[in-house]
Amino acid sequence: MENLQIDGLSVFAKGVFPVEISAGKRINANHRVPVLASVDATTGEVRFYVDSEAIAILRRDTDKR
């Protein structure tokens, strides 16, 4: 059976560097989480997401605002 989704892809913008997000102005490495992407091989739809374990970091920092 064909895999309909390709996960764990990197996102590039005018160069080769990882994309990360943070909650608010906390931008040091302890407060950033990598953004990943997946592509639906049937429709071409791109989905951006973070690893489920990284949600705790974003929640922690959001709660401190």
Residue 24 CA: distances (Å) to CA of 29, 31, 37, 61: 13, 10, 22, 8
> Using one digit for the tens of pLDDT, what is the confidence trace for 43-58?
988 889 999 988 888 8
Contact present, 49 and 36 (Cβ < 8 Å): yes
Amino acid identity for residue 37 in this structure = A
How confident is the prediction for the chain on average, in pLDDT? 79
The total of other beta-carbon atoms located within 10 Å of residue 40's CB is 12
Average pLDDT over residues 29-37: 86
Interior CA angle at 38 toward 35 and 39, to 5°?
145
Check residues 52 and 15 and name the one with the higher pLDDT.
52
